[in-house]
Structure 1
Amino acid sequence: MCVVTCVFFFIYFAFFLSLFLLFAYLFFVPVILFASCVHVSAAMRRGVKRAARAGNDGAPVTRRRLRDRAEEEAEEKRRRLQQEAAAGDLALKSEEEEWEDTTDDEQEEEVVEEDGSVDEGLDETMEEEIIDEDEDEDEDYAEFQREADAVTKGFRRITFDDSALQRQLNEEGDDGEEAVPTVWRSDQAEEGPQQLVYSNKAYDSFFQLRTEYPSLSFDVLRDRDTANHSKYPLSLTLVCGSQADELSKNQLYVLRIQNICRTKHDGDSDSDSDGSYIGDEGDSEDGVDEDEGEEVNNGEPIVQHRTISHYGTANRLRCAHHNTNLVAVWSDAGHVQVFDLENDVNMLCDYANWAKKQLKNPVQKKPSALVFCTPSKAHRTEGYGLDWSPVAQGVFASGDCGGNLFVWQPSDDGRWRAAASNTSDTQTPSIEEIQWSPTQADVLITTRVGGVVEVWDTRDMRKSKIHWQADPTDINVADWNKARQASHLLVTGADSGAVAVWDLRKATAATPIQRLPWHRGSITSVEFSLHNESVLLVTGDDGQCTLWDLSLERDPSEEKEVIGELFGRPDLTGVPDQLMFQHQGLEHPKEAHWHAQIPGMVITTDYSGLHLFRPMNWRSLMK
């Protein structure tokens, strides 16, 4: 009986406990849900109030910018750019575009930060990143923009009119009088014998040097003294390659030319008197820029040289920018070789110390100048495209007549390896010229037979990033402006005689910003001056080397004061205002270079040898 009573009591207790729990569940759950809704509603109202204070009537969003989130976005952006580059869709960006992108990113980050900096209800434990605007960088970018635009807008349209000269020639022919000597123009050369008279008054300094064999290419070695040299007597060092009648007879010539003095002007006529000097103001024949002392070698230059064996004609020769003793040479035997000229240069430039070292090590074997040769599996034919990078030390690129392009990087063993290439089993247009960007380590341009200019990103060499048709004929030569404010300018020279200046920021438009319609032969060399970004030299197969100032605007009063008796001559009125100097008498000129350390000094090579000259108006060119 007791057991039955306990079981009945336990069942009764369990029944009432179940009813209590059910009642509690049905009552408290709605209360909790209602309280949660009230809390969320209050939070939403606070968010709306904060949005209203910030001037935003949109959806209430708690705008917080965490450091890890910013890093994720930056990583995602870098990954997206890498994917675009791998797909070949990344176009070349000039310095202006890169800086624009940087500025835009900073502006976007600034807006996000402003949004997240006014939330009063943020949790104090949350970390917030503050980004300050870099005002100095913006000012540098704006200054660069102004300088670049000023250089481009400063170029003047080049035009000339030959009508005055033609009238003079017609009048002389009608009158039967003896013709007055005029400035010779290759495009207006008449049939029959002509006598060309050289006027040394046009030169501040002029020297001709003949070599055993003609030279197709040369380069200037930078002196150890990095200062500009403008005081006479001058000295310089060159390296040039030969074009012998047999491959085995070719050599590299290392030339040391010293005692280059000011040219002595003729005084055989009244017009050559001291009062008729037509040089720059402040310059004169009195030798104000010459060292005092006795005249050496009767005022004639002193030439010393060293020779290095080289198999094959040197099609193209270029010195490295960071170490000019390293010289790369394109041979018509089908390979590129790199030579170290340090021993030869030391002997020519500092013989005393060089001799002491030889005496200390008398049995030491002469070091070989050849340090590298491209493997046979790389280039399978000769070529002309060759250039060292001015940004990446020891890196150079070479292109051959088969259209193959290689980028070579130095390795730890003192040699070079092919770091990137663009090759094809089928014949593609020959690469005639290569020019590295003066500011970007991964960008270079090539010009090809057929008149196409290509811009390459060496990180992805599957195809060029930008290309355009610059001329219907072959583009033989090109030069990239080295000045920072003009690093967007490229000049090209074509077989047709056309010389064009391009703004690489607008290269896809295929319209040059300047043309030089002067030369009547194939253009063989173009180069911007390192001392004035608007000055360039041009050589053509018409026997001329011309110097241009593209920013010059004619001032008749100043012109009359400078050239005196020559002012108003009919044979000079048809000359373009921007043509500053015309060096003639060259026989199939192949290359010309400015000297980086001697302002106004120009060196040319032709079939007969080398011409070294400094025009009488060189100071005006360097302004």
Structure 2
Amino acid sequence: MSKRSVTEITATSGNQGEPRKTPRGESKQPENATNDEMGEFEDAWEDELESDEEVVDSEARKDEDGMDIDDEVMPPIEESEEQPPAPDVFIPGVHKLGQDEILEPDDSVDNLGEQRQRFPATAYIVAGTQADTAKNNEISVYKMSSLHKTQRENDSDDEEDDDDDALDEDPLLEYRSVPHLGGVNRIRAQPLPASSPLPPVSQPYYVASWSETGKVHIWDVRPLIEALDVPGYAVDKARTHTPAFTINSHGRAEGFAMDWASSGEANPSALRLLTGDIHSKIYLTTTTPSGFNALSQPFTSHTSSVEDIQWSPVEPTVFASCSADQSVQVWDVRAKGRQSVAGIDRAHESDVNVISWNRSSTYLLLSGGDEGGIKVWDLRNIKKRGTTAPDPTPVAAFHWHKASITSIEWHPTEDSIFAASGADDQVTLWDLAVEQDDEETGAMDATPENGRDVPPQLLFVHQGQKDVKEVHWHPQIPGMVISTALDGFNVFKTISV
């Protein structure tokens, strides 16, 4: 199976497919997309679901006075009323602060942050291309703004809902790019806590790219973000067009597996990056006060290509990996010999393409295979290295997708919900807490359409994209999903979480 990852949602708002591009500085509207055994999960929602309309939530829009547009009732403006002056905008490199002057934030334009529920939404993603010529590739930071709730055709004109959330306005897509030698196999953004803004302007914001040349490059994309947000911002090409660091540990072997970890909210700048290649080796790169440090000794328990890596959400020294050798391995960087400490030797019938570690129920791990299967594992049951115990049975297994699973990810806060994508051009949303009632089972047709049983845990199937390669939950907008494919990006929201 050929895999390429091209997109990753940044913490403020990565396998194949080249994103659509517009001339730099212009905007473009993204194209619209048009019985397994289960363990017991608690249903936190008790089957109370929101409408399946595709929506994207955001915080309330602000007017120039900083008021919530959705909540304000505007009185008639008297001609004699004096309007407050517009605040001065400070542009770095253009303006200078005078003596005793300080910068004050304008809260009316800051609509980012966690738990954004109102429209219009704004999201940032970083993506990489796979051009036909190595020198024609790019890394791009995209800003998606003016994302509104889609208006249904059957909405009544006389409805009393005059909420601006229902406006069907054109979204905006802007981007800034830097050149990248070689196709981008996968790209990952530096992690930040969901409630945290970007670091100060003076500090870098890193993304890492796996190049088909066998190099892993680390880039500071903070200037590209600033260029999208600050009119007239001049990008320092010396800072952005050259990698901040290049990992040469893999030689000429390319790879796909990559994941960042940080030491937490107390010190998010202390970063660690794992990278795995097609020759079964995994390397660790860390940060020090003087910069990045690529460790020379690899982790070597896999016998084939390393396809995906995930750091533990709670144990800073523990990570999991999956491979074309059909196994899932769990590692501790402190272990001697750089060997895995536990694993599932035959997790799938073929290559294990992707994994995802649950951030809430941290003993749960998802895996997606080349045969199209999705499995949920209880890590408390996996066997330790050196024992002869049999492989555990998955907590749940699903075989809905009819082609390779290309991406899988747990919801960032709800421990029973996950999203998956497949080479069958489907993005699916699942909830393990949903169980089918006996009454509903009796009322259903014994022979579903096309003879396929629909698992009750399958909440939604999103279609319309070609060659879907990656799907991510937005870390700050509840229920928002971004997927990438050969023909562009899709942004949608379907459930209340």
TM-score in same-fold range (> 0.5): yes
* 1:376 and 2:248 matched: yes
Deviation at 1:414, TM superposition (A): 2.3
Unpaired segments ≥5 residues, structure 2: 1-37, 44-50, 57-109, 193-197, 200-204, 265-269, 384-390
Cα distance change, pair 287–345 in 1 and its aligned pair in 2 (3 A): farther
Quick one: structure 1 residues 454 and 155, their matched pair in 2 at CA, closer, same or farther if it must change by over 3 Å? farther
User: TM-score by structure 1 length?
Assistant: 0.55
1:218-266: CA deviations, max 9, x gaps?
A: xxxxx99432111011111111000111110000111101100110112
Partner SS for 2:165: coil
Aligned equivalents of 2:448 and 2:319: distance in 1? Answer: 44
Q: Percent identity?
A: 32
Q: Which amino acid aligns with 2:304?
A: P
The equivalent of 1:416 in structure 2 is 293
Which structure's relative contact order is higher, taking Cα pairs within 8 Å and 6+ residues apart?
2
1:54-453 matched pairs, under 5 angstroms: 153-154=40-41, 202-205=52-55, 225-267=112-154, 286=161, 288=163, 290=165, 299-322=169-192, 325-349=205-229, 351-352=230-231, 355=233, 367-391=239-263, 393-418=270-295, 420-422=297-299, 428-453=303-328
- Describe the superposition over 1:499-557 as per-residue Cα deviations: whole angstroms up to 9, x where unpaired: 00000000224211111121111000110001311000111111111100101123599
Determine the C-alpha separation between the residues in 2 that align with 1:510 and 1:379: 36
Deviations 1:143-172 (A, max 9, x none): xxxxxxxx963179xxxxxxxxxxxxxxxx
State the one-letter code of the partner of 1:290.
Answer: D
SS of 1:415's partner is strand
Q: Are the structure 2 counterparts of residues 550 and 274 from structure 1 closer, same or farther at C-alpha, using a change threshold of 3 Å?
A: farther
Q: How many residues align?
A: 374
Paired with 1:228 and 1:420, the residues of 2 have a C-alpha distance of: 41
Corresponding residue of 1:533: 415
CA distance in 1, matches of 2:395, 2:188: 28
Q: Distance in 1 between matches of 2:39 and 2:446?
A: 30
Alpha carbons of 1:420 and 1:320: their partners in 2 closer, same or farther (altered >3 Å)?
farther
Residue identity matched to 1:487: T
5+ residue gaps, structure 1, are 1-150, 157-200, 207-222, 276-283, 560-565
Identify, as 1 or 2, the structure richer in helix: 1
Q: Is the 8 A contact 1:391 1:438 kept in 2?
A: no
How big is each residue's C-alpha offset from its partner over 1:28-72, in whole Å with a ceiling of 9 and x where there is no partner? xxxxxxxxxxxxxxxxxxxxxxxxxxxxxxxxxxxxxxxxxxxxx
What is the alpha-carbon distance in structure 1 between the residues aligned to residue 371 and residue 141 of structure 2?
34
CA–CA distance in structure 2, aligned partners of residues 423 and 507 of structure 1: 19
Structure 1 pair 597/567, CA: closer, same or farther in 2 (3 Å)?
farther
In structure 2, C-alpha distance between the alignment counterparts of 1:339 and 1:365, rounded to whole Å? 12
User: 2: CA distance between counterparts of 1:309 and 1:343?
Assistant: 15
Contact map agreement 1:238 1:254 (CA 8 A) in 2: yes
Residue type at the aligned position of 1:389: A
The Cα of 1:303 is off from its aligned counterpart by: 1.4
Distance 1:289 1:204 in 2: 16
1:490 aligns with 2:490: no
Moved more, 234-243 or 411-420: 411-420
Change in Cα spacing, 1:406 to 1:610, as seen in structure 2 (3 Å) is: same
Residue 394 of structure 2: aligned partner: 512
Q: Which has the larger radius of gyration?
A: 1
How many Å apart are 1:375 and its aligned residue? 4.5
Counterpart residue identity of residue 523, structure 1: I
Give deviations 1:565-622, integer Å, cap 9, x for gaps. Answer: x99996499422111111012211110001111111111111111111112xx11xx1
Please say if residues 390 and 438 of structure 1, whose CA atoms lie closer than 8 Å, have aligned partners that are also in contact: no
SS of residue matched to 1:389: strand
> 456, 463, 467: which one pairs with 1:577?
456
Name the SS for the 1:205 alignment partner: coil
Shift, 1:380, TM fit: 2.8
